[in-house]
Amino acid sequence: MQFLDFEKPIAELYEQLEKLKENGDKSGVDVSATVREYEQKIAATRQDLYANLTSWQRVQLSRHPERPYTLAYIERMTTNFVEIHGDRNVKDDKAMVGGFAELDGETIMFIGQQKGVNTKMRQIRNFGMANPEGYRKALRLMKLAEKFNKPIVTLIDTPGAYPGLEAEERGQGEAIARNLFEMIKLKVPVICIIIGEGASGGALGIGMGDRIFMLENSWYTVISPENCSTILWRSWNFKEKAAEELKLTSDYMSQFGLVDGVIAEPLGGAHTNVDEAAAIVKAKIKETLAELKKIDAETRITQRIDKFSGMGFYDER
């Protein structure tokens, strides 16, 4: 198990527990009662620790190396997933994945950013930062779902769209803007779930839906805390302060009305029990789809436009 810096008290208890088990195995002494005491102490410590997480600690959890990514959720929630590749123009962007899958017998188009599970795959997946062809592939899949009247679920987890020169040359801004323009008019139900990092236009490029949800330990804002700190204080050293000031966590986003709800995670984060996390997300998708299907397409589109048009405020003087 990997622990974050603020989880040090839990890590120390786990270390003591492992030593206790090892000594018990070597000596043949029954240590089951002591093991149970340690397990109860770990559970209580975790409960206390996670009751008052700071914004920066939630950002750290959203980036946990063992946190499940898009394909992990699809694998556990669905059957018969058929991944569809390529944007029919440049290439297949490995940072953006998608395809049809069955969720309890219903065919749904799943689309999302995919980070790598190890160093090699992170390079192949470009750390979940999609190029323009990734967003064009996503749009192609959305249009395909609309053609066959299938709902769309997007799973958002990206530190941002890829900012490289070649991405700009191939029209990164236009690709994201085109997705916003087209997603707002889709005739099928669209559910967007932020499962990890939701940064800037990289998240918004597949984030225009009838319902927007966030996992408890995810974040959603225009810029990462580190980059915000660099711009405002010319240093990454103020990233914790930036995270607090950005109000980027799920509870703030829900209060501001920028998302429609927060999906609870297993205690300690989604990575502590991936199967349970996937089951919770699956239940939310099914519940929301049942709700959206009762609304006709034109009404859904109007509500979608009103939802995003009503975000933010301005003052005319």
Contact 203, 194 (CB under 8 A): yes
Contact 292, 209 (CB under 8 A): no
Contact 44, 200 (CB under 8 A): no
96 φ, ψ to 5°? -120, 125
Tokens of 13: 């208890």
CA 273 to chain CA mean position, Å: 16
Q: Collect all residues with Cβ–Cβ distance below 8 Å to 205 and sequence separation of at least 6.
A: 130, 135, 138, 161, 175, 176, 179, 180
pLDDT at 24: 84
- Coarse DSSP helix, strand, coil percentages of the chain, rounded to the nearest 5 percent: 55, 15, 30
pLDDT at 316: 67
Q: How far apart are CA 295 and CA 276, in angstroms?
A: 30
pLDDT at 26: 82
Alpha-carbon dihedral sign for residues 227, 229, 230, 231: positive
pLDDT at 231: 95
Nearest C-alpha neighbor of 38 from the set 11, 23, 21, 17: 17
pLDDT at 57: 96
pLDDT in tens, the chain (317 residues): 789 999 999 999 999 999 888 888 888 888 888 889 988 999 999 999 999 899 999 999 999 999 999 999 999 999 999 999 999 999 999 999 999 999 999 999 999 999 998 999 999 999 999 999 999 999 999 999 999 999 999 999 999 999 999 999 999 999 999 999 999 999 999 999 999 999 999 999 999 999 999 999 999 999 999 999 999 999 999 999 999 999 999 999 999 999 999 999 999 999 999 999 999 999 999 999 999 999 999 999 999 999 999 887 766 66
pLDDT at 317: 66
pLDDT at 28: 83
269 φ, ψ to 5°? 110, 160
pLDDT at 168: 95
Is the full-model pTM beyond 0.85? yes
SS3 98: strand
Q: How far apart are CA 143 and CA 150, in angstroms?
A: 10
pLDDT at 22: 87
pLDDT at 244: 96
